[in-house]
Amino acid sequence: MPDEPSPRQPQQRQPVPRPEAPEARGPNWKIDPAPDGRGKPPQKPPMLPFSGRRFLIILAVGFLLNIALVQIFAPPEKRERIPYTPTFITQIKKGNVKEISSKGETVTGDFKNKLKGAQHFETEVPTFANTNQLAKLLEQQNVKVNAKPPQGRSFLQTLIFSFGPTLLIIGLLVFFLRRAAQQAGGGGMLGQFGRSKARRAEGGEDTRVNFNDVAGIDEAKDELSEIVDFLKRPEKYQKLGARIPRGVLLAGQPGTGKTLLAKAVAGEAAVPFFSISASEFIEAIVGIGASRVRDLFQQAKDAAPAIIFIDELDAIGRSRSGGGGFSSGGHDEREQTLNQILTEMDGFETGDGVVVLAATNRAEILDKALLRAGRFDRRVAVQAPDKVGRAKILAVHTRSVPLDPGVDLEALASSTPGMVGADLANVVNEAALIAAKREHSSVRQNDLTDALEKIVLGTERSVVQSEEDRRRIAYHEGGHAIVGMLTPGADPVRKVSIIPRGQALGVTMSAPDADVFNYEESYLRGKIKVALGGRVAEELTFGTITTGAESDIQQATQIARGMVGRWGMSEQVGFVAVESQNGNGPLLPGVSETSEATQRTVDAEVRRIIEEAHEEVRNLLERERERLDSLAQALLRDETLDEPDAYRAAGIDRVPAPA
d(CA 209, CA 545): 55
Cβ-count burial 546-555 (b if 16+ within 10 Å, e if not): eebbeebeeb
d(CA 232, CA 370): 26
Question: Which residue among the candidates 477, 579, 605, 624 is catalytic per the annotation?
Answer: 477
Cβ-count burial 438-456 (b if 16+ within 10 Å, e if not): eebeebbbbbbbbbbbbbb
Q: Read out DSSP for 44-96?
A: ---SSSS-HHHHHHHHHHHHHHHHHHHHHHSPPPP-EE--IIIIIHHHHHTT-
d(CA 134, CA 346): 93
- Using CB atoms within 10 A of its CB, is residue 241 exposed (0-12), middle (13-18) or buried (19+)? exposed
Nearest to 227 by CA among 349, 356, 347: 356
Q: At 436, phi and psi to the nearest 5? A: -65, -40
Enumerate the H helices of 318-420 as residue ranges: 330-346, 368-371, 387-397, 409-414
d(CA 491, CA 510): 6
Determine the residue type at 293. Answer: V
Q: What is the dihedral of CA 324, 330, 336, 342, to 10 degrees?
A: -70
d(CA 292, CA 301): 14
Report the interhelical angle of 445-457 vs 421-437 (nearest 10°). Answer: 120
477 counts as catalytic = yes
Report the interhelical angle of 521-542 vs 550-565 (nearest 10°). Answer: 150
d(CA 539, CA 45): 85
Whether residue 418 contacts residue 384, with contact meaning beta carbons closer than 8 Å, is answered with yes
Bridging pattern class, strands 493-497 and 507-510: antiparallel
Provide the strand spans (E) within 93-166. Answer: 97-103, 106-115, 118-124, 144-145
Q: Any idea what DSSP says for residue 4?
A: P
d(CA 337, CA 626): 67
Nearest to 205 by CA among 27, 21, 26: 27
d(CA 616, CA 619): 5
Q: At 64, phi and psi to the nearest 5? A: -65, -40
**Three-state DSSP class for 5?**
coil
- Rg from Cα positions in the chain: 40
Number of H helices, E strands in the chain: 22, 14
> Please, which residues have CB within 8 angstroms of residue 155's CB and are 6 or more apart in sequence?
none
> Please, which residues have CB within 8 angstroms of residue 399's CB and are 6 or more apart in sequence?
none
Report the interhelical angle of 625-638 vs 521-542 (nearest 10°). Answer: 80
> Which residues are catalytically annotated?
477
